[in-house]
Amino acid sequence: MTYLSQIYAIVWKDLLLEFRTRERIAAMGAFAVLAGILFNFSMDQTVVRPQDIAAGLIWMTLVFGGLLGIGRTFHLEAQDGAFQGVLTSPAPKDAIYIGKITANFVLLYIVALLVVGIFTLFFGLDLGDHPGMLALALALGSLGFVALGTLFSAVSSSTHMGETLLPILVFPLLVPMIIYGVSATSRLLADRPIADVAGNLRMLGAFAVLAVGAGAVMFRFVVEE
Amino acid sequence: MLSTASQRPDGSHVQSAVTPQAPAVSRGASPALSARGLTREFGVVVAVDGIDLELEAGDFLTVFGPNGAGKTTLLSLLGGRLKPNRGEVRVGGERLAFSETAWRARIGVLSHQTFLYAHLTVAENLRFFGKLFGLTDLDERIPARLEQVGLSDRSDFLARQLSHGMRQRAALARALLHDPELVLLDEPYTGLDPYAASVLRGVLSSLKDGRRTVVMVTHNLTQGLELANRLAIQVRGRFGWYGERSAVEPDTFEHFYHRVVEAGSA
């Protein structure tokens, strides 16, 4: 019970801080809108069908935009040593980590839905017959992303290179998520049968589970001096 | 040479508990706080070098020392925020193990950093940390702690809206929220005006209730002497002197302190 209460406390605190400062959601949201506008002008829609390339653009926008926010996970924590206070508490490190990725997941998923909304608006994208499955694919991908992004954000926040280092560390590890995420999204937008998408969704789920598990184990080694 | 460390500030020798290299003073079977051979290295720098320590409930130890003596590192080791390269720390006889976290509920830490979230109110900060400590009676506990530090009327203020002195008092409320048996204070008076320092002194004085053990590090000799019943002077990671507060005279302590620091730095 205490364990869940500690996770809840972290989630509540992170979301309340974000609600007050709007530091990360504003950056990610603005990036998503601007990327959507630029992509809209970067292709001739009389030659290229948006439906054919939207999946890749959606996931790239999510990854680049998401990193703007996830990379600043520990920015507010560093002010006045607040995170040191968290580390002096009896809360297990994995509870702290799960709390932080849960809050990050909420933020990133909002951005993911915003990205899809923007592409629907600018490209006249048809979400196909299974928008629920598309939402599931984005949720699983977002979870895997925040699991790794939060872990490496903790790593990079303690280095001189900081946010410069983060994409170098994270992007190579996101390749499986991007492959299966783009594949699932493409097939869903093309109205392929669910059976054609199930494998990709399973791989996205496996990636998310592995990323969360590895992050929960490794987080303590990252934050302990 | 550290031989001067075994002398009273007035020049006479101190017989009890004042040996520079073996400072541990055993006064009970299971001390409230003990350290044995505590050592922490950062590369080639030995920040804390084989420190032994033993304190009972009710003890208030002030650790003095020049900049870079390793005082903050010592406090971090005693609070389990840093892992020692060698040696061990025991709180109430229980060894601090890094693989577990439950013992952290017995320790309260006040640093020169407040550990507060600037965009949360004082009450929200306390509620958050209270949840992390597994406390369930926060509705009663938070007002009581805020009253103790004189911040009852500031509970709904964001931490960033408070003066430095008020933030430090809020940080003290956070550190004491779970009623810890061991309180670690790292330069708590830093940046406080005389009034804020006076308020803080009053709260720290209330910690001398016989139940708690307090360790404070500071380089302010006057403030350090006020509440302590035990003193240590740390130089280059070691205790150059360690003994009873009653063994020193406030008027001559500064001179004595300088001699210990010079001897330890030689």
User: Looking at beta carbons, which pairs linking B259-262 to residues 24 or more positions away fall under 8 Å?
Assistant: B259/B4, B260/B2, B260/B4, B260/B5, B260/B233, B260/B235, B261/B65, B261/B66, B261/B233, B261/B235
pLDDT for B135 beyond 80: yes
pLDDT at B158: 96
B61 close to B214: Cβ distance less than 8 angstroms: yes
**Cβ-Cβ contacts under 8 Å for A21 (sequence gap 6 or more):** A76, B119
Residues of chain B contacting residue A93, judged by C-beta atoms under 8 Å apart? 101
- Mean of the per-residue pLDDT values of chain B: 85
pLDDT digits (tens, 9 = 90+) for B30-49: 788 999 999 999 988 999 99
Kindly tell me if the per-residue pLDDT of B19 is higher than 70: no
pLDDT exceeds cutoff 80 at B241:
yes
B120 vs A contacts (CB less than 8 Å): 13, 16-17, 20
pTM: 0.87
pLDDT of residue A9: 96
Class of domain B3-265: alpha beta
Cβ separation A87–B81 shorter than 8 A: yes
The pLDDT tens digits of the residues spanning A191-222 come to 898 899 999 999 999 999 999 999 999 999 88
User: Could you tell me the residue ranges of all domains in chain B?
Assistant: 3-265
Determine what percent of chain A is predicted with pLDDT higher than 70.
99
Mean pLDDT of A131-157: 94
Structure tokens given for A53: 């390339």
Q: B264: pLDDT confidence band, cut at 50, 70 and 90? A: confident
pLDDT at B236: 92
**CA–CA distance, B205 with B252 (Å, rounded to integer):** 24
Q: How far apart are alpha carbons B256 and B254 in whole angstroms?
A: 5
Where residue B11 falls among pLDDT bands split at 50, 70, 90? very low
Q: How close, in Å, is residue B211 to chain A by CA atoms?
A: 21
Distance from CA of B234 to the nearest CA of A (A): 22
Return the bridge partners of B233, or none. Answer: B64, B241
Give residue B117's pLDDT: 95
Give the whole-angstrom CA distance, residue B249 versus residue B255: 10
Rg (Cα) of chain A, in Å, rounded? 18
Structure tokens at B225: 């002497």
pLDDT digits (tens, 9 = 90+) for B161-214: 999 889 999 999 999 999 999 999 999 888 788 888 888 888 888 888 888 999
In this prediction, residues B76-101 reach a mean pLDDT of: 84
| Nearest one of B240, B237, B265 to B39, comparing CA atoms | B237
Q: Does an H or E element contain A114, and which?
A: helix A93-123
Are the beta carbons of A82 and B115 separated by less than 8 Å? yes
pLDDT score at B13: 39
- Are the beta carbons of B168 and B160 closer than 8 angstroms? no
Residue B18, pLDDT above cutoff 70: no
- How far apart CA B97 and CA B134 sit, in angstroms, is 19
Among B83, B109, B111, B132, which would you mutate to test the A interface (most chain A Cβ atoms within 10 Å of its Cβ)?
B132
**Which pLDDT does position B5 carry in this prediction?**
41
B79 in reach of chain A (CB within 8 A): yes
d(CA B112, CA A105): 33
